[in-house]
Structures are given as C-alpha cells and as structure tokens.
Amino acid sequence: MTAAAGVRAPVRAGRIQPHARRRESGLLALVAVVLVLGSVSLGATQRQLAGQPASWLPADLGQLAIYLGALLVAHLALIMTGRRADQVLLPTIGLLGGLSLLLMERLPQALVTQSLLGRNFGLASIQLGWLLLAIAVITIAAIGVRSDSWLRRYKYTWAAAGIALLLLTFLFGTEVNGALLTIQVGPFSGQPTELIKVVLVIFLAGYLSDFRPLLVAADLRLGPLRLPPLPYLLPMLAMWAMALGIVVIQRDLGAALLFFAVFLALVYIATNRTSYVVLGLLLFVAGSVIAYQLFGTVRDRVDIWLNPFVDASGKGYQVVQSLYAFGRGGIIGTGLGAGLPLVAGRLPIPAIHTDFPFAALGEELGLIGVVAILGLYLIVIERGLRVAASAADDFRALLAAGLTLVVGVQAFIIAAGNLKLIPLTGVTLPFISYGGSSLLANGVVVGLLLALSDRGVEPPPPPRPGRGRRPAFLGGARSAR
C-alpha cells in the first residue's frame, strides 16, 4: 500500500521554494478587469442618478483597490510558499466575492451599520472587512494545513463540537425572522449553523471512510432494498433525526435541507448504492410530511411556494417581489445600480442583502448575469469534485466532495428558492450574501479544498487493519491496475 504514496511527489522538508502559478495569475487579471468594469458601470449609474457629472471613475475606488490587493496578496503568498494547489478556485471565489462587494456598494449603506473604534461603517465597508478575513482564512488554510490527521483522527470530537454548537444556538440563540440562528456576543453576532456544516462534513468523511466496507456489504433485505446491517444504519437515522431536530429547534429549513442533502450525497459516493438514496428520500418525504403537519412555519413556506400571488402583499410578499425583480431584469438586466426601484424610499425586498442577493443580481445583471453566476458555482463544484476524485484516499475524497457539496447545494437551495423552484429557505448565497459567519465558514471550505488539492501535503496514513473488511479503496484499486 505504499505504492500510492510512491507515485506522489515526496514531501519537501524544510526549504520553501517559490513556484509560479501562471494560470491563477492570468485568471486573477481577468477577474480584476471584470470587477473594474463592473465598478465603472456602477459608478456611472450612481453619478447619473445623483445628478453628478459623468466620469470613468469606479464606484468606490478605495474599496475595490483594497479587495483586489487582498486577492493579489493571497496569490503571492501561494506562489512564495511554493504551493501547488488548484489554480482556478481562488480566482472564481475572487470574482464571486467581488460581485458581492459591488452589490453591497450598490445597496443602501444603512442596511447594516457597525460602530468600531469610534468610526461608523456601512454595509459595503463591513462586507469588505469580512471578505478580507475570508481571503485570509482561505490563504492561511491553503498554506498552513499540511496534514489532515487532526481532522481524521478526532471525528467524534468534531461531531460532538457540531452538536455542542447546535445546543449553544438553542440555548443562547436569538430569534431572527422566526428562525433561531444567531448567537450574539457583544457587538458581534454569528450563525453557528454555518460552521456546523463544515464540522459535520469532517465527521461524515471520517465515519464513512472508516465504515465504507461495512456499509457496502448488504445483508438486510427490505423488499426490493438491500440494506447494511442495522447497527450501521443508525448513523443515517441519527443524521435524519438531527436534520429534523434543526427544523424543530431552530426552525431553519434551509440548513436542515442542506445537511440532509450533503449527507445523502456523501453516503452515495461512499457506497455507490442507490438503495441508500431511495431510503434517504423516503425518510425525507416522511420527515417533510410530519414537519408540514406539525409546524406552521413549514406549512407557510410550502403554501407560499405553491402560490405566492394569493397573498402578494402579505406572506407571499418577498417571493413575489423576488420574481418581480427577476422579471424587471429580463435578459440583459438593468445594469448595476439601475434596478430595484424604491417604494417610499425603501427597497422592495427587506432581506435583499442576505436572502435575496441572487434576485438583486438577476435584476441588475439579467439572465446573462444569472447564467454567469451559476457558471461560477459550477466551476467551484467542478474543481472541488476534481480534487475529491484525485484524492489520495477515501477520507480526503469524501472530505473534498463534502466540502464542495456544502457550497454547491447551499447555492442551489437559495437560488432555487429565490426563483420559486423550491420553497424559500433562509440560507445564504455562498460568497455573495452579506454576513461574516457565512463568508468565514465558506472561506474555511475553500481553504481546505485548496489544501487538499496540494500535491505537496503530507500523504495520508496507511489504513489501519482490522477497522474494515477491506483496506483503503482508491489506492488499492489504482495499484491493481
């Protein structure tokens, strides 16, 4: 089993040699051009609306320069430390984050304000701060994580940490829009759910890679379904119960849907068995029916989804206004800063910066922009799954796939919710929505993906015998060829 490690580049001990990242350089230059053009367009529109003379200056030159500078620093840090990590992820995330910055610059700055060190900061300044922190997290994780043993060894500790975070939210959380999501510490508030999803993926990757052989061996027959022995089904049931618990305790449908979908997908990747997916979907349907019967929140969401226009000025207001925004955008959009007509001095959608940035961009960038943003997420998904498929062992494969799915599925849930394809739930649009928790958690995700993609990191430990019926799969399969 050392053959797998044998084909890899040896670990460079001690000396760090810079290594050029030409593809990343080129893509980042392209991102800079796109963002400068976007900012110039926004600036022109804003000056026109304010009745100021036209000019070619970007909307907020300082903020844009700081943001692009941070991307450049991250890029240079990866070069100087000689990292051979994926070169497409950083520019893609950079473009998504840059769109977020432009959107926040375009929205009324008073949507969010924070006083720090005697200065007052508005929406865009705060979001820029979080974006810089997220880029820092990405860079530190990409460069600093050289071994995954601390992740794989303590999987139950991670699981416990996840449940502890959940309990913390339950005990100390404050309610926002009917969901118990936020923990307030001094002037700062955070949403632990965002971190729980990362922790949970680490646990699942560890658990599934360890018990993969047992889960694959089916000796329990249930009609047409072939299932593993009952003890190994328990974690799945526990996950299902946890997802339902999130709905019950936090009334956070989006997070529950996200956790369960990622869980099912990882089980499918680990076992390659459709019967699990079918079973999972049956459990999902059963859970949904129960939740619909028991919880008014769930009933409301589903009823609004089925026909928001019935109560367009009441319960269906946000969804209807979101659809209006998409409609106003049409194919080419109104242009940054030219959409979102005010009603009595207020934006038509209250939670536009957290729950409906996709609708805002749909209006201002049009169908073309929507397709482009979807394309960016697909690039992230493609790179992440590529990292997973070429990972050195099962744990890394499942971890990379899980992290990728967290971003991809979350983007799907909120984008589809904005477009009334599925009931609306209040998850953030990764890298675009306003919010520190979301940006930092997704920064951790991308940082870990970059670290996992680095061919220079420490090779995985040899599989421990006796844990499963078969040793590690990927290495074994490869060496057998």
* Closer by beta carbon to another protein, 28 or else 111: 111
Q: Which is nearer to another protein, 119 or 481 (CB)?
A: 481
Kindly state the smallest distance separating residue 153's Cβ from another protein, in Å. Answer: 21
Contacts of another protein in 255-314 (CB under 8 A) = 265, 268-273, 312-313
d(CA 280, CA 260): 9
Residue 118: phi and psi, rounded to 5, are: 75, 5
Per CB under 8 A, does 5 bind another protein? Answer: no
The reply to whether 327 sits near another protein by the rule CB under 8 A is: yes
398 binds another protein (CB under 8 A): yes
Among 341, 455, 464, 467, binds another protein (CB under 8 A): 341
Residues β-bridged to residue 176: 179
Cα 111 from Cα 351, distance rounded (Å): 9
34 within 8 A of 67, measured Cβ to Cβ: no
86 part of the interface to another protein, by CB under 8 A: no
Please check whether residue 325 is in contact with residue 318, taking contact to mean a CB–CB distance below 8 angstroms. no
The nearest distance, CB 389 to another protein, in angstroms, is 4
Among 14, 293, 342, 465, binds another protein (CB under 8 A): 342
- Which of 125, 394, 429, 457 contacts another protein by CB under 8 A? 394
Which 123-182 residues touch another protein, going by CB under 8 A?
none
Question: In terms of Cα–Cα distance, which of 148, 139, 158 is closest to 447?
Answer: 139
Nearer to another protein, 171 or 480 (CB): 480
Does 54 bind another protein (CB under 8 A)? Our answer is no
Q: Is 470 in the site for another protein (CB under 8 A)?
A: yes
Q: How many residues bind another protein (CB under 8 A)?
A: 62
Cα–Cα distance for residue pair 126/289, rounded to 1 Å: 40
Q: How far is the CB of 361 from another protein (least distance, A)?
A: 11
Per CB under 8 A, which region of 58-66, 69-77, 323-331, 427-435 contacts another protein? Answer: 323-331
Cβ 183 to another protein, closest distance in Å?
31
With respect to another protein, which residue has the nearer C-beta, 238 or 389? 389
Among 58, 97, 408, 430, binds another protein (CB under 8 A): 408
Angle between helices 436-453 and 123-144 (to 10 degrees): 20
Which of 53, 343, 465, 466 lies at the binding interface for another protein (CB under 8 A)? 343
Nearer to another protein, 381 or 449 (CB): 381
Which residue(s) pair with 430 in the sheet?
A: none
Residue among 131 and 279 whose Cβ is closer to another protein: 279
Positive or negative, the CA dihedral 69, 71, 74, 76 is negative
User: Among residues 20, 54, 185, 477, which is the contact residue for another protein, using CB under 8 A?
Assistant: 477
Which span sits near another protein by CB under 8 A: 14-22, 27-35, 320-328, 432-440?
320-328
Site for another protein in 194-223 (CB under 8 A): 213, 216-217
| Positive or negative: CA dihedral 158, 180, 427, 360 | negative
Q: Which is nearer to another protein, 127 or 404 (CB)?
A: 404
Residue closer to another protein, measured from CB, 77 or 226: 226
From 178-186, 238-246, 341-349, 433-441, give the range in contact with another protein by CB under 8 A. 341-349
10 Å CB burial of residue 234 (0-12, 13-18, 19+) is exposed
By beta-carbon proximity to another protein, the closer residue of 157 and 274 is 274
Which residues are within 8 A (CB) of 32 and not within 5 positions of it... i.e. 6 or more apart?
68, 71
Beta carbons of 90 and 141 less than 8 angstroms apart: no
Site for another protein contains 362 (CB under 8 A): yes
What string marks each residue from 9 to 28 as x (binds another protein by CB under 8 A) or -?
Answer: --------------------
Interacting residue ranges for another protein, rule: CB under 8 A: 48-49, 51, 213, 216-217, 265, 268-273, 312-313, 320-321, 323-324, 326-331, 340-345, 348, 362, 366-367, 370-371, 374, 377-378, 381-382, 385, 388-389, 394, 397-398, 401, 405, 408-409, 412, 415-416, 419-421, 470, 473-474, 477
